[in-house]
Structure 1
Amino acid sequence: MNIGKQIHQLIFPLLSLALLLLLAWFSNRYQWQWDWTRNGSHTLSETSIALLQRLKGPLQVTIFTPRASTLQQQVERFIERYQRFKPDLQLTFVDPIRNPDASRRQGISLSGELVLHYQGREERLQRLSELHFSNALQRLSQQQHHWIAALTGHGERDLHGKANHDLGAFGQSLQQKGYQLVALPPATVPPDNTALLLIASPTTALLEGELALIETYLQQGGNLLLLTDPSSRESLQPLLQQLDIEALPGTLVDANVRRLGIDNPTVALVSEYPEFPATAGFDLLTLFPESLALQADQARDWQVTGLLRTLPQSWNETGPIHGEVERNPELGEQAGPLTIGLALTRQRGEREQRVVVIGDGDFLSNSYLANAGNLDLGLALVGWLAGAEQLIGIPPRPILDRELQLSPLTKGIIGLGALFGLPLLLFGIGGLLGWRRNRA
C-alpha cells in the first residue's frame, strides 16, 4: 500500500516534468503569436503582407547600431513581424564603433540606419515604421528601370566621375536603386524612354541649337533636374529664362554655419521643407556650398513651389568673400531666408510634368554628398522627378484611449479587496489545505 502510494506520488511530478519538457520543445520548434490589441498595433497590415508575398528571393537587412543596445532589441521585434511572412528575410547587425570601416564604406551617417538589399538594389532607412519599411520594399520590388539622361560636353559634373566636383558617388547610389544612367552627347535628342534629363552645372554655354532641343523636350512634357551655381550662372542664363527663373547676383552666404563649426560662410543650411510630394516626410539638415539664390514668379502655365529656403542671417553677397562679411542692401543684397531650390509642375495631358532647379551642384558632389542629409534629399528629388516615388498606402493605426476610468466605488472595492480580501483568501486556502492534510 505504501509502495503504491509512493509510486502514485512519484508519477505526478514525472508527468509534470515531461509536460514541461514537451512544451519547451514545442515552443522552440513552433511559434504562435496573437495580437490582442484593439487596433492591431503589433500586426502587419494586409498591404504589407501582400507585398512580402510578391517578393521572390532573399531580402537582406543590415542595421548599424551598437551591440546590446535598446535599439537593437526594438529592431529585432520589428523585423520579426516581417519574418513571419518572409522567412528568408535576414537581419544583420553591424556595430559602427567596433567596425567603423564597414560604416564608412556604406556612407552611414546616423546610428540606427538600416540598409536593405534585394536583387542587387539598395534602399536606406533612417526611420523605423511599417510605413517607411514597406515603402522601401515597394521601391526595391520595382522591375522597371527609369532612364536618367545626363547632358555632357559642356564641363558638366559627371555621374561616373571620381573628381571632387563630380557626382560619381551619387550616380552609384542611383544605380543601386535601379536607375539606368545614360550620357547625352551635345546636340542630341534625349531618348524617348528618358524619365529625367539632368543638366549638372555646365561651365560653357550651350549652343542655340542645343537650347532649342531642350526647349522642345520641355514642351513635350519631359522632366528636368537643373543644377546651377555661381560658376555656371552665365552658361545657364538662357535656360533659366526659358523657365522664367532669375538668379540673384552674388553668392549666398550664411552666418548660421558657425554654430556647426563650419568656417566657410558660403555653405548654406536648409532645415525645413514645405509640404510637397518631393520632400514629404523629409526633415534632415542639408548643406549647400556656394549657392545661387533663385526667384520666380508664377508665369505661363507653371505652378512654382519654393523647395529649399535658407535660414535667417543669410544673404546674397555680391562682393569678395573673405574676412568679416556684412550685408549691403544698397548693392542688391537681399536678407534671408532666400530660395535656392524651386519645383515647377504643370499638366501635360494625363501626366504631370516636373522640373526642379537648384542653385547649387556641389551638394551632390563627391566632396559633400555624405554631409548631413544631402544624399537622401538628392534621391528623394530624383525619385519624384522620375516618377519612381510609388508609395503604398498604409493607413495609420488609430490611437485608442487606453486610460481606464473607474468610479470611486469601484476604486474602493479594489483597494479593500487588495488590502483585506486577498490576504483572507490566501489564509483560507492555507487553512483548508492544512485541514485536509491532517485528516489524511
Structure 2
Amino acid sequence: MVKKEKEIEEGSRRGGWKFIASGRKLERYKAALLVAIQLFLMVVVFFQVNYLSYRKHQTWDLSQNQRFTLSDASKGFLRSVGGEVSLIMAFLGTSDLHADVKGLLSEYDRLGEEKVRAEYLDLSRSRARIAELKDQYQIQFAGDQILVVGKNKRIKVISAEELVNRDSNTGRIVEFKGEEIITAALLEVTEQQQRKIYLVTGGRRADELVPIAQQLQPLANAQNARLESLILEGRQRIPEDADALFFPGNTLDLTERELEVVRRYWEGEKGGLVFYLNASAKTSNLNAFLREHGAGPRGDRVLSVLSIPGMTAKKTYDVAVALMPGSGPTRDLPALTTQLMGQTQSLDVLFEDDLLIAENIRPRPLMVAREGFWGETDFQTEEVSYNPDIDHGQPELVYTAASVEKGVAGDYDFKKGSSRLVVVGNPDLISPDGNTSKVGADFTMASLNWVMNREELIGITPRRPTAYTLSVSADDQGLLQSLMIFLMPGLALIISGVVWVRRRA
C-alpha cells in the first residue's frame, strides 16, 4: 500500500514537472511571438517613416536672409513649366559661391519635381562629363558657370559673376541675385519667345521717365520680358510684337485717333494695358474709356487730416493702402500694405453693375485706402473735412486701383480669351525718385503678367539677399579690444577668487 502511494506520488511529481515544463515552453513561444511581432512592426514603421519622409517631407531654410527659399513667382513657374529642363552647375569646389549656388539649385530640383533636374560638376574632377557637354552643345567652360538646357536643346549659359554684385573696392559679395537670374534663364529656354512691354510716353518729363524705365527693366528681365519705349503719335497700329502697353502717369491725353488705335489693340488683338494715372492731368478721353469699362477716375484726391494736439491740423496725400487678394493680379499676393506717395485719385469700380455684367465686362477693385482716408472733391482749399454729399468714402471703401476683364458676349468663362487692363489712380507706384517699394514692384509685375496671361508668374518676386556690414570706428575698436583683453579675463579671475575664498571658509 505504501509502495503504491509512493508510485502515485512519484507519478504526480513527474506530471507536475511535465506541466511546468510545458508551461515554460509555452511562455517562451509567447515571448518569441511577441518579439517577432515587435520586429515586424518596427520594420513596417521604418518603411512607413521612410516613405512618408520621401513623399511628404518638409524642408526649412535656416540660412541668413533665407537665401535658399524661392519666391512665389518662381514656385508658380516651376508648377507650370512645360517640358524637362536641366540645370548643370560646373564650378570649382573652392569657389566662394559653390555652397550658395548648389543649395539654390537643389531647391529648384526639389520643387521642379520631375520637370527640373539639377546636375553638379567639379571643373577640376568631372573632366569626362565636361568634355561630353562641350561636344554635345558646342560650348566652352571658361570658368564657373551654370548651363540651362531646355526642350528642343535651347541653351542659356550663366556665368558665376552674373549671380552676384560685388563691392568694387574689396571684391566682397554684397548682393546675391541667383534666383532672379536662374528663373529668368528658365523662362528664356522654355517660352517660345521673349515677351515685350512697351512704355508709352505721353508728356511726362524725361528725368522722371528714365528712372522709371531703369527700375522696370530689371524687373522685366527677371521674367523674360523686354522693355521698349513707344510714341503713339502718328501710329496707325500698335507693333505686332507688343504683349502689353504701360502708361506711366502720362500728362497728355490720348487723342480720339490714338484711343481708337489702343482700343483695337486691346479688344481685337487681346493686348494688355496698364494705366498709372496722373491725378493732375486732364485726360478726358482716357477717363471716358475707363468709365465705359467700369473703372472710372473720380477726379478727387484721396487724403486724410492729421491732428496733433497743440498744432494746426494738416492734410496728407500719402495714402496708406492695402492690396485686395482675390482673382486677377492680386490673386496670389497676400494682403500687403504700402503707401501711394503724392496725389492719388479714387476710382469708381462698378463691379456689381448689371449692364456691364450683361456685356461680359468684369471690373474688380485691387487696392483700397486704409481707414481715415476719403476722396476729397474740394481738395484745393486749406481746411478740408469729409462732406458725405460730395466726397467719396466713409463708410464706403475708397478704391485706388482696379482691373477690368472683357470677354466675348455670352462667353462668361472667358474660354475664347479676354481683353485685360489694370488702372491705378496714382502715377508714382514705380517711383521716379528710384525708391520704389517692394510691394509696388510686385504689384506692377503682377499686373503686367496678368494682362499678358501669365498667371503662373503672379506672386511675390525674388528678393536679393544682401550682406550687411557693421562699421566700427577706430576708437570703438580700441574699446572692444580693451574689454576682451582686460575686462573679460579680469571678471573670470574675480569670480574664481570669490569661489576659492568661499571654499576656504
Q: Does the alignment reach a TM-score above 0.5?
A: yes
Cα distance, 1:375 vs structure 2: 0.7
- Counterpart residue number, 2:261: 213
- Counterpart residue number, 2:346: 293
> Residue deviations 1:224-266, cap 9 Å, x none?
111113123535334334434332232112569x9xxxx9821
> Residue deviations 1:151-182, cap 9 Å, x none?
22x2147799435xx44311332134221223
How do residues 228-247 of structure 1 correspond to structure 2 at under 5 angstroms? 228-234=277-283, 236-247=286-297
Q: Does the 8 Å contact 1:268/1:291 carry over to 2? A: yes
- Counterpart residue number, 2:224: 178
Distance 1:274 1:59, change over 3 A: farther
Q: Does the 8 Å contact 2:244/2:451 carry over to 1? A: yes
- Counterpart residue number, 1:115: 179
Rg (Cα) greater in structure: 2
Distance 1:265 1:55, change over 3 A: farther
Q: How many Å separate the matches in 1 of 2:402 and 2:80?
A: 38
How do residues 295-310 of structure 1 correspond to structure 2 at under 5 angstroms? 295-297=348-350, 298=353, 299=356, 300-310=359-369
Q: How many Å separate the matches in 1 of 2:315 and 2:88?
A: 48
Distance 1:168 1:232, change over 3 A: farther
Is residue 2:108 matched to residue 1:55? Answer: no
User: Tell me, what secondary structure is at the counterpart of 2:51?
Assistant: coil
User: Tell me, what secondary structure is at the counterpart of 1:345?
Assistant: strand
Cα distance, 1:372 vs structure 2: 4.1
Cα distance, 1:95 vs structure 2: 12
Q: How many Å separate the matches in 2 of 1:279 and 1:330?
A: 32
Distance 1:140 1:177, change over 3 A: farther
Distance 1:383 1:158, change over 3 A: farther
User: Tell me, what secondary structure is at the counterpart of 1:117?
Assistant: helix
Q: Does the 8 Å contact 1:156/1:199 carry over to 2? A: no
- Counterpart residue number, 2:65: none
Cα distance, 1:366 vs structure 2: 3.5
- Counterpart residue number, 2:22: none
- Counterpart residue number, 1:382: 448
Distance 1:233 1:294, change over 3 A: farther
Q: How many Å separate the matches in 2 of 1:351 and 1:210?
A: 24
- Counterpart residue number, 1:251: 301
- Counterpart residue number, 1:87: 119
Q: Does the 8 Å contact 2:400/2:424 carry over to 1? A: yes
Q: Does the 8 Å contact 2:300/2:375 carry over to 1? A: yes
Q: How many Å separate the matches in 1 of 2:455 and 2:435?
A: 21
For residue 42 of structure 1, what is the amino acid of its counterpart?
H
How do residues 96-115 of structure 1 correspond to structure 2 at under 5 angstroms? 102-103=174-175, 115=179
Distance 1:218 1:52, change over 3 A: closer
User: Tell me, what secondary structure is at the counterpart of 1:309?
Assistant: strand
Structure 2: which 5+ runs fail to align?
Answer: 1-48, 60-74, 92-100, 121-145, 147-159, 309-313, 409-414, 459-505
How do residues 203-352 of structure 1 correspond to structure 2 at under 5 angstroms? 203-220=251-268, 221-234=270-283, 236-254=286-304, 265-283=316-334, 284-289=336-341, 290-297=343-350, 298=353, 299=356, 300-320=359-379, 326-335=385-394, 337-348=397-408, 350-352=416-418
Which structure is higher in helix share?
2
TM-score w.r.t. the length of structure 2 is 0.52
Q: Does the 8 Å contact 1:252/1:266 carry over to 2? A: yes
Count matched residues.
317
Q: Does the 8 Å contact 1:139/1:390 carry over to 2? A: no
Is residue 2:194 matched to residue 1:194? Answer: no
Cα distance, 1:315 vs structure 2: 0.4
> Residue deviations 1:323-379, cap 9 Å, x none?
875323344243253111111112247212211111112011243653241111111
For residue 116 of structure 1, what is the amino acid of its counterpart?
E
Q: How many Å separate the matches in 2 of 1:181 and 1:86?
A: 31
How do residues 4-15 of structure 1 correspond to structure 2 at under 5 angstroms? none
Tell me the C-alpha RMSD between the 2 structures. 4.7
Counterpart among 29, 35, 42 of residue 57 in structure 2: 42
Cα distance, 1:385 vs structure 2: 0.9
User: Tell me, what secondary structure is at the counterpart of 1:194?
Assistant: coil
For residue 227 of structure 2, what is the amino acid of its counterpart?
L
Distance 1:254 1:239, change over 3 A: same
Q: Does the 8 Å contact 1:362/1:368 carry over to 2? A: no
- Counterpart residue number, 2:430: 364
For residue 86 of structure 1, what is the amino acid of its counterpart?
A
Q: How many Å separate the matches in 1 of 2:370 and 2:266?
A: 32
Distance 1:377 1:99, change over 3 A: farther
Q: How many Å separate the matches in 1 of 2:53 and 2:117?
A: 22
Structure 1: which 5+ runs fail to align?
Answer: 1-33, 61-71, 107-113, 123-136, 393-440
User: Tell me, what secondary structure is at the counterpart of 1:191?
Assistant: coil
User: Tell me, what secondary structure is at the counterpart of 2:254?
Assistant: coil
- Counterpart residue number, 1:418: none
For residue 41 of structure 1, what is the amino acid of its counterpart?
K
User: Tell me, what secondary structure is at the counterpart of 1:55?
Assistant: strand
Q: How many Å separate the matches in 2 of 1:50 and 1:376?
A: 21
Cα distance, 1:276 vs structure 2: 1.0
Distance 1:317 1:280, change over 3 A: same
For residue 230 of structure 1, what is the amino acid of its counterpart?
A
- Counterpart residue number, 1:67: none
Percent identity over paired residues:
16
Q: How many Å separate the matches in 1 of 2:80 and 2:417?
A: 30
For residue 276 of structure 1, what is the amino acid of its counterpart?
S
Q: Does the 8 Å contact 1:149/1:182 carry over to 2? A: yes
> Residue deviations 1:402-421, cap 9 Å, x none?
xxxxxxxxxxxxxxxxxxxx
Q: How many Å separate the matches in 1 of 2:215 and 2:338?
A: 17
- Counterpart residue number, 2:203: 155
Superposition misfits of 4+ residues, deviation over 6 angstroms? 47-52, 74-77, 89-96, 98-101, 157-160, 321-324
Distance 1:48 1:85, change over 3 A: farther
Cα distance, 1:56 vs structure 2: 5.2
Distance 1:310 1:37, change over 3 A: same
Q: Does the 8 Å contact 2:303/2:374 carry over to 1? A: yes
Q: How many Å separate the matches in 2 of 1:49 and 1:246?
A: 35
TM-score w.r.t. the length of structure 1 is 0.58
